[in-house]
Structure formats: structure tokens, C-alpha cells
Amino acid sequence: MVLSSWSFITEYQRHIDDFRELYLITYRVAEQALAGPPDASACSELLVTALLSTQLFTKILSKKLHLPPTLYEPMATRMARHIVQRNHVEVIPVRREN
């Protein structure tokens, strides 16, 4: 609900390929760090940091004029969960094939 009320779902759909690629990179980093496939929770935690470090997500945040900076991390957390929920099952088989 919160993501849609701030149009983050629309932004996710608009930039779905970029968010999927970021998630795939995050998954691979977590997989190497853990020496095995990471679970969705580990990926979500790492993805929050990745989101807050990307130009794409910081640009999206900057467009939300009434969203105070104190809510950037909580919104990144929700967005990370959303991305993981939509992509975790898809990433695992793709990674194992490579």
C-alpha cells in the first residue's frame, strides 16, 4: 500500500529491467559472500544498500518532493522486499544455469 501510494510500484514497472538487473547483481554478491545460494531475506537486506547507492533509485526518491529524507531508507526497505518477492524465484534458476 505504501509503495503504491508514493508511486513506487509505477516506477518499478517503468524501470523493471534495471531493478531486475540490480537484483541479479545483488544476488550474485550475496551468493559469493555466503558461499552458497542466499535466501530472500539476505538478498533483501543487501538490496536496500544497493538501492540507496544507485542513481536510479536516488533520482526516484528526489522526485518525491513531500517524502522526507528520514523515510528514504524505510522506502528502500519496502522497495527491496517488493523486488525480491517478484524476482527471487526467477533469479535462482538463472544463476544456477550460468
The average confidence (pLDDT) of the chain is 89
Identify the pLDDT of residue 27.
Answer: 92
**pLDDT-wise least confident of 1-5, 28-32, 50-54, 76-80:** 1-5
- Length of the chain, in residues: 98
Identify the pLDDT of residue 91.
Answer: 65
Indicate the domain borders of the chain: 2-97
DSSP string, 20-86: HHHHHHHHHHHHHHHTSPPPHHHHHHHHHHHHHHSHHHHHHHHH-TTS-GGGHHHHHHHHHHHHHHH
Identify the pLDDT of residue 90.
Answer: 67
Q: Read off the pLDDT of each residue in 69-79 and give the average, rounded to a whole number.
A: 95
Predicted TM-score (pTM) of this structure: 0.85
Whether the pLDDT of residue 94 is over 60: the answer is no
Backbone phi, psi, residue 59, to 5°: -65, -40
Per-residue pLDDT of 6-25, as tens digits, reads 899 999 999 999 999 999 99
Only one residue has cell 523486488, namely 83
Eight-state DSSP code of residue 98: -
Q: Read off the pLDDT of each residue in 67-88 and give the average, rounded to a whole number.
A: 93
